[in-house]
Amino acid sequence: MAEVPESNVISMDSYSENELELYADYSCRMKSSMKHLEWTSCHTNWSPCRSGIKPDIRKHRKPVHSFKKAILPVVFVEKLKEEKGCNKQSSFNDIDLLNAILVEEEISFGNIEDTCAPPSKFQHRNTTVHIIRDSTQKNLKLQEFQGKAHLVALFLKGINLEEEAKINMGSYISAPPVEDKLPVTLGLAGCNLFLSCKPEEDKADTPVLSLTEVTDMLEKRNNDLLPYLFYKAQNTSNSTTFESVAFPGWYISTSQDEHKFVEMKPKDDQVFLREFIFIQN
């Protein structure tokens, strides 16, 4: 069986002179047939002196590239078909030539999920500074105990009143609004400590009140903000209660005794005090 030569070994030198002469003759015939397209000088009977206009006729420039070079790819394709034993009846078009040149590459793609944060249910309105005491006029003071900061209630007099804590109360607007209740945050002025209501370690349904350091409270949204929010409600006696938003029915409360921590107590507790008053600065 005769071996078919590889396409990469076909040399342009293997083309016969007859093949090149064939296309060369065809080139000449095309040139002669296209002579009518070239510009040539034209002599007429009219005189330039009569019109006063001097004709300036230029000849069309011949193509720079040789037609012989242009037909070489065609000769190469015909030669390739003969070497490969292609059936002359079969069609060999530009698509077949492109398929031999172009290489298919796998296109990688990935899914990109665009996540948007849901709008916050609570929108900050303003922050005001207040002095808050319980219903028996006990003062609130920041105190450190076992390496942790706590808020205690006690009576301060004279120069000790300077130790009374001032509260930064941040007011929020809830959507939908709760009737006669204003969501607020309670932070200590001069530091980044905020009162927070979170579940106890061993009792998920029992919240504890603690002071938590927060760098920027305004950046918190929704569930992150919830432990720091309390519903501020005013009673008929002009006293105010602070109910946990995260744990409805639990209120910030103080003991009737001095030097006790401020805690969270349920509404049905009859021992602790959950009503507070605002003192003018």
Angle at 41 between CA 35 and CA 46, to 5 degrees: 135
pLDDT of 159 > 80? The answer is yes
User: Per-residue pLDDT tens for 195-206?
Assistant: 999 998 777 788
Give the domain ranges of the chain. 10-101, 122-279
| Distance, CA of 96 to CA of 98 (rounded, Å) | 5
Q: What percent of the chain has pLDDT over 90?
A: 48
Which among 181, 188, 209 has a CA at the least distance from the CA of 122?
A: 181
Given this model, what pLDDT does residue 133 score? Answer: 97
pLDDT at 178 over 80: yes
* Residue 29 in this model has a pLDDT that exceeds 70: no
What values do phi and psi take at 80, rounded to 5? -65, -40
Does residue 177 surpass a pLDDT of 80? Answer: yes
CATH number of 122-279: 2.80.10.50
Are 279 and 156 contacting, i.e. CB atoms less than 8 angstroms apart?
no
- Res. 57: pLDDT tops 50: yes
What's 193's DSSP letter? E
Q: Of the ranges 63-77, 130-144, 154-168, which one carries the lowest mean pLDDT score?
A: 63-77
Q: Indicate the pLDDT class of residue 118, thresholds 50, 70 and 90.
A: low
Per-residue pLDDT at 41: 45
- 246-263 pLDDT per residue, tens: 999 999 999 999 999 999
**141 CB contacts (<8 Å, ≥6 apart)?**
151, 152, 153, 154, 156, 163, 164, 165
b/e 179-192 (16+ beta carbons within 10 angstroms → b): eebbbbbbbbeeee
Is residue 214's pLDDT more than 80?
Answer: yes
| AA identity, residue 210 | S
- For 270, list phi and psi in degrees, rounded to 5: -105, 5
Q: Among 202, 231, 228, which Cα is nearest to 215's?
A: 228
Helix intervals (H) in the chain: 17-33, 48-51, 67-70, 72-83, 94-101, 222-225
Position 10 confidence tier, pLDDT thresholds 50, 70, 90: very low
- On the question of pLDDT at 164 being above 90, the answer is yes
pTM of the predicted structure, to 2 decimals: 0.59
Tokens found for residue 43: 């002599």
The continuous run of DSSP H or E covering 212 comes out as: strand 207-213
The pLDDT value given to residue 176:
87
pLDDT at 17 over 80: no
